[in-house]
């Protein structure tokens, strides 16, 4: 079974396009196939130093995280979410948000959110569960 997450950035209650320069700066050191990367890419195949991989796609106002493997790739995912001032929508319907983004959320989303000073791997695992087991 495939596991996926969505990352969103909100401003004034609306989802907005993430800063692609920031996205590329975070992900480019981890390209699994750097020879296929272009400056226009919005799809990334990422490999962490431990060999774990994930597909990341930026489509309109959503960063899709597809089939992340157990391993250090999760550190890249949470860094991406934090650095783009994003929120992570966990498959159970809960949003993991930085506290400074509270005022930017759409109406009602605050009720389904957990706020942290910084999105970290520890904060993510607190909500989604330990990453050494398949997440469902």
Mean pLDDT, rounded, for 98-127 = 92
The CA distance from 100 to 79, in Å, is 16
Higher-pLDDT residue of 24, 33: 24
What was the pLDDT predicted at 119? 93
Is the confidence at residue 10, as pLDDT, over 80? yes
**Domains in the chain: ranges and CATH:** 4-127 (3.30.310)
pTM (2 d.p.): 0.85
What was the pLDDT predicted at 70? 86
Higher-pLDDT residue of 126, 113: 113
Q: Are 67 and 4 in contact (CB under 8 A)?
A: yes
pLDDT band at 130 (very low <50, low <70, confident <90, very high): low
pLDDT band at 136 (very low <50, low <70, confident <90, very high): very low
Is the confidence at residue 133, as pLDDT, over 60? no
Mean pLDDT, rounded, for 103-132 = 88
Q: Are 43 and 90 in contact (CB under 8 A)?
A: no
The CA distance from 29 to 10, in Å, is 26
- Residues near 48 by beta carbon (within 8 Å), at least 6 away in sequence: 30, 71, 72, 73, 75, 76
Query: What's the chain's average pLDDT?
Result: 87
């Amino acid at each position: 079974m495939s596991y996926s997450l969505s990352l969103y950035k909100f401003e004034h209650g609306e989802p907005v396009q993430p800063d692609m320069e920031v996205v590329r700066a975070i992900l480019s050191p981890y390209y699994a196939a750097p020879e296929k990367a272009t400056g226009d890419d919005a799809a990334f195949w990422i490999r962490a130093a431990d060999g774990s991989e994930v597909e990341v796609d930026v489509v309109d106002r959503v960063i899709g995280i597809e089939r992340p493997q157990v391993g250090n790739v999760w550190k890249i995912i949470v860094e991406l979410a934090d650095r783009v001032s994003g929120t992570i929508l966990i498959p159970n319907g809960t949003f993991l948000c930085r506290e400074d983004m509270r005022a930017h959320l759409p109406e009602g989303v605050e009720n389904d959110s957990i706020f942290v000073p910084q999105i970290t791997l520890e904060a993510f695992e607190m909500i989604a569960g330990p990453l050494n087991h398949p997440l469902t």
